Amino acid sequence: MLEQLNEKDFGTPRRISEQEVTLEIDGMKVTVVAGTSIMRAAAESGVNVPKLCATDSLEPFGSCRLCLVEIEGRKGYPASCTTPVERGMKVRTQSPKLQELRKGVMELYISDHPLDCLTCAANGNCELQDMAGVTGLREVRYGYDGENHLDSKKDESNPYFTYDASKCIVCNRCVRACEETQGTYALTISGRGFESRVSPGQDQPFMDSECVSCGACVQVCPTATLQEKTVIALGQAEHSVVTTCAYCGVGCSFKAEMKGNEVVRMVPNKDGHANEGHSCVKGRFAWGYATHKDRILKPMIRSRITDPWKEVSWDEALTYAALEFKRIQKKYGRDSIGGIVSSRCTNEEGYLVQKLVRAAFGNNNVDTCARVCHSPTGYGLKQTLGESAGTQTFKSVEHSDVIVVMGANPTDAHPVFASRMKKRLREGARLIVIDPRHIDLVRSPHVEADFHLQLKPGTNVALLSALAHVIVTEGLLATDFIAQRCEDKAFQQWRDFVALPENSPEAMHEVTGVPAELVRGAARLYATGGNAAIYYGLGVTEHAQGSTAVMGIANLAMVTGNIGREGVGVNPLRGQNNVQGSCDMGSFPHELPGYHHVSDSTTRHLFEQAWGVEIQPEPGLRIPNMFDAALEGSFMGLYCQGEDIVQSDPNIQHVAAALSAMECIVVQDIFMNETAMYAHVFLPGSSFLEKDGTFTNAERRISRVRKVMPPKAVYADWEVTIQLAKRLDYQMDYAHPSEIMDEIARLTPTFHGVSYAKLDQLGSIQWPCNDEAPLGTPTMHVDHFVRGKGKFIITKYVATDEKVTRRFPLILTTGRILSQYNVGAQTRRTENVQWHEQDLLEIHPHDAEERGIKDGGWVGIQSRAGDTVLRAKVSERMQPGVVYTTFHFPESGANVITTENSDWATNCPEYKVTAVQVKPVTEPSEWQKKYTRFSKVQHELLGKAQQTSGKDKTIA
């Protein structure tokens, strides 16, 4: 689906109003909604008024005076960007006088602008150049020798874009984009009059300022002043293809601007429903990993993990894998092998992996990384509301009056949604943050939380009960909503439970550490402040009571009637790009696609008929059970597509021991990741740029992923799974991923109406999409809950087994940062390392001082699972007693520390609570030394394979 490179810019944003206004522009009758600017009204009717400081993603500013028009009956020449339409207005956009005025403006600009158009990076995509042409500029009367900025120094500090002040026309677009679109306020115009120039921070280089490299300023700059370095290197693109970001669960739509098969830049798509033209540093700039030299492009096999890899043909690798799986099943039984579905791969690829396991392996031993992140969301929301997914669109936040952010850090992990949220907060919505850390949202430019409930890690359920206690005992309930929409008996039992004195904020203070009056204030605000929405993340789910906390959140939404319309709801912020999709596709061992339990014979028979096999009615093994079974000697083979379980799962040493015990591990990935070091077959994966398919984001939005270049290793991941199935004597016949989606739609009621044709037509679709909702479902549970009546569930707080002791007196909690993504396999192979080149241990100054720990010094962190060494970052963001780190670098070993404690319902690991001791050290931990040796050996074994010459590398 090729797109136009330069989209039409209407100059000012679209207005929403029920009133229409008719006016005349250049003799034409034009009707637009009230509040529309003359500039936009003209553009919508095909008349383009010259402009420089206006662009349709930003509020009009009226500084360049190029867009002047004549209005009958009015004196002077008003700016069409800042003048709203009025009924009966008669506007002229062209006249000799207007031409003269515009030419005059352009002369001033050009007299202080380098005339290097032919060699300028923006040549072919420069609005200043275009306006010079449109206004008919032929000479500059002031000459070029006056005072100018032509010698201004270039700022090249940002790895992805340059700032060339000599080309700046001080249109202020970048400053406004940083404020309005991104909400970071990193830019100002410093100086006055002729001296005025764009300034990051306090006249600092971009990299030293608060800039988070989202690219919004670069996007709106009408000249080459702010310019992508890739465009400077490669020149302007020649075509573009719409696709979806492969990083986080926001699922931003991008135009991949291409030159042949080479990406020139990724431009956020204005028509993208999840992001509406905005981006973050990862999707916008950090795509270079896709062509990184570390990509493994040839299939490889080896008998033992101590052997060198041997490059083989696709046929040989797949045949070897299939024979090994058959051998293992013959020796150890049908259930001795399994597969892992990737939340980074497409829906279609995930569907095929679980189908391979169920149909070709003949068991239900399939799981996905959602096990370690949002499986409690699936369970908790299904129990209470009836559907395992968030209830809203991202846009819904524009209608929220109160926003609760619990256990999530959107400015780092879901940045584009965070910008949208911050915009609403700047408009006056109130904010409650529930988090052990002082995350950026608590206080950032023009945003301040009304309440920060800085609870102790592991006490979410206690806090949720305390909030519910206030709502129930102070009579802040939505009684009508509860009576009409919820199960009465369950409600009464729950109400009586939360009303118990032991659940009061005062009683819970000792558990949560949060002062009772703050809990009472937050509860009152949530219940009475208007539309209230809860956004939560892994700080809720990754606990021993993760599922309980999710149900507690759903209870709060129901008791206050905050569900079933815009501006409210229960919104899990999903981590990986397709974690919602991988769950939807039946990647859990107990569920077929569409969340139907494998024990449900009707659904099972439907799939059995379609697939021509018998499906086992008993759930298969979850990932942690696979590890345990491997160590017991009953689980011996694994097909792992696009996941790095060694780095991402808790208690690395346990995972590594389990993998070492298996006889055949098949890893399909784009890089030699940590898991692949334990593998016997390596199948080269394909990046999101190399295949067709779909991703489903945190709002249940299904978006197309489109192939912009051929797979570097010849085959897309879905093609490889088909070939593996064939060698396991199971035939899968699909010529294109659209045919896989057609099968998913046929077999899954919530997807009945989904097709590639409809996705092309609508841009994206939020499931359920079927006969009842042919265009999809932006808001769920509108008139009734998916399960019929909403069900309150009692959520009793049970303290985790992971307790601080004299030996381990601190709690370690983990998370992410903006520039890195998950295990870092992608972002570590980009310039994003300039922002974060190693994982750090954040520690409160008091705890640091007590232990003699200095900022930047090495610290050993020890838990009952293991120990590692990181550099310390002494930070007031932490509360005393709590330390924090990220897990983006394998050598940091954050998951050497985390334990096997897990959620009671789903086995989701308790990453957020590990009792640790921290002390200054001088050398790496024993694990790190062992890891370094093992990793070195594995890279040598890989190096040997890469020296061998290639044979036929295609699938036979």
Q: Is 137 helix (H, G, I), strand (E, B) or coil?
A: coil
In whole angstroms, the minimum distance from the beta carbon of 222 to ligand FES comes to: 10
In whole angstroms, the minimum distance from the beta carbon of 223 to ligand FES comes to: 14
The secondary structure of residue 76, as a DSSP letter, is S
Binding residues among 607-666 for ligand SF4 as defined by CB under 6 A: none
In whole angstroms, the minimum distance from the beta carbon of 717 to ligand SF4 comes to: 20
Name which of 302 and 423 has its Cβ closer to ligand SF4: 423
In whole angstroms, the minimum distance from the beta carbon of 148 to ligand SF4 comes to: 15
Check residue 404 for interaction with ligand FES (CB under 6 A): no
In whole angstroms, the minimum distance from the beta carbon of 255 to ligand SF4 comes to: 13
Name which of 245 and 662 has its Cβ closer to ligand SF4: 245
**What is the C-alpha end-to-end distance of the chain, expressed in Å?**
30
Are 579 and 375 spatial neighbours (Cβ–Cβ below 8 Å)? no
Check residue 213 for interaction with ligand SF4 (CB under 6 A): yes
Check residue 178 for interaction with ligand SF4 (CB under 6 A): yes
In whole angstroms, the minimum distance from the beta carbon of 146 to ligand SF4 comes to: 19
Instruction: Return the residue nearest ligand SF4 (CB atom).
Output: 283
Name which of 454 and 571 has its Cβ closer to ligand SF4: 571
Check residue 683 for interaction with ligand SF4 (CB under 6 A): no
Instruction: Report the distance separating Cα 9 and Cα 893, nearest Å.
Output: 48
Instruction: Report the distance separating Cα 426 and Cα 422, nearest Å.
Output: 6
The secondary structure of residue 157, as a DSSP letter, is -
Residue 110 contact among ligand FES, ligand SF4, none, beta carbon within 5 to 8 Å by kind? none
Binding residue for ligand SF4, selected from 38, 85, 174, 550, defined by CB under 6 A = 174
Residue 217 contact among ligand FES, ligand SF4, none, beta carbon within 5 to 8 Å by kind? ligand SF4
Nearest to 224 by CA among 214, 213, 235: 235
Residue 52 contact among ligand SF4, ligand FES, none, beta carbon within 5 to 8 Å by kind? ligand FES
Check residue 579 for interaction with ligand SF4 (CB under 6 A): no
Q: Site map for ligand FES, 772-811, x if CB under 6 A?
A: ----------------------------------------
Name which of 127 and 487 has its Cβ closer to ligand FES: 127
Phi and psi, residue 855, nearest 5°:
-60, 125
**Helix %, strand %, coil % of the chain (to 5):** 35, 20, 45
In whole angstroms, the minimum distance from the beta carbon of 167 to ligand SF4 comes to: 7
Residue indicated by tokens 């389990």: 658
In whole angstroms, the minimum distance from the beta carbon of 42 to ligand FES comes to: 12
In the chain, what's the furthest Cα-to-Cα distance?
92
From 272-280, 388-396, 792-800, 873-881, span contacting ligand SF4 (CB under 6 A): 272-280
Check residue 275 for interaction with ligand SF4 (CB under 6 A): yes
Instruction: Report the distance separating Cα 553 and Cα 468, nearest Å.
Output: 9
Instruction: Report the distance separating Cα 267 and Cα 249, nearest Å.
Output: 18
Please give, one letter per residue, the 3-state secondary structure of 432-452.
EEECCCCCHHHEECCEECCEE
In whole angstroms, the minimum distance from the beta carbon of 780 to ligand SF4 comes to: 22
Name which of 174 and 897 has its Cβ closer to ligand SF4: 174
User: Helices marked H in 790-925 — which ranges?
Assistant: 845-851, 894-897
b vs e for 65-98, b when ≥16 Cβ sit within 10 Å of the residue's Cβ? Answer: bbbbbbbeeeeebbbbbbbbbeeebebebeeeeb
The secondary structure of residue 142, as a DSSP letter, is T
User: Residue 53 CB: number of other CB atoms within 10 A?
Assistant: 24
Nearest to 329 by CA among 627, 661, 636, 730: 636
Residue 67 contact among ligand SF4, ligand FES, none, beta carbon within 5 to 8 Å by kind? ligand FES
In whole angstroms, the minimum distance from the beta carbon of 11 to ligand FES comes to: 7
Provide DSSP, 163-208: EEGGG-----HHHHIIIIII----EEEESSGGG-EEEETTT--GGG
Check residue 226 for interaction with ligand SF4 (CB under 6 A): yes
Binding residue for ligand SF4, selected from 214, 397, 557, 615, defined by CB under 6 A = 214
Check residue 438 for interaction with ligand FES (CB under 6 A): no
In whole angstroms, the minimum distance from the beta carbon of 164 to ligand SF4 comes to: 9
How far, CA to CA in Å, does 198 sit from each of 35, 144, 167, 168?
Answer: 30, 22, 11, 8
Instruction: Report the distance separating Cα 462 and Cα 941, nearest Å.
Output: 51
Instruction: Report the distance separating Cα 427 and Cα 409, nearest Å.
Output: 20
Nearest to 560 by CA among 398, 394, 792, 795: 792
Q: Is 918 helix (H, G, I), strand (E, B) or coil?
A: strand
Check residue 183 for interaction with ligand SF4 (CB under 6 A): no
In whole angstroms, the minimum distance from the beta carbon of 114 to ligand SF4 comes to: 13
Instruction: Report the distance separating Cα 191 and Cα 630, nearest Å.
Output: 67
In whole angstroms, the minimum distance from the beta carbon of 68 to ligand FES comes to: 8
Q: Site map for ligand FES, 57-96, x if CB under 6 A?
A: -----xxxxxx-----------x-x---------------
In whole angstroms, the minimum distance from the beta carbon of 230 to ligand SF4 comes to: 15
Residue 226 contact among ligand FES, ligand SF4, none, beta carbon within 5 to 8 Å by kind? ligand SF4
Check residue 124 for interaction with ligand FES (CB under 6 A): no
Cα Rg of the chain (Å, integer): 29
Q: Site map for ligand FES, 21-60, x if CB under 6 A?
A: ------------------------------xxxx------
Phi and psi, residue 206, nearest 5°:
-50, -45
Residues that bind ligand FES (CB under 6 A): 51-54, 62-67, 79, 81
Binding interface with ligand SF4 (CB under 6 A)? 168-174, 177-178, 182, 184, 186-187, 198, 200, 211-217, 220-223, 225-226, 245, 247-248, 250-252, 275, 279-280, 282-283, 415-416
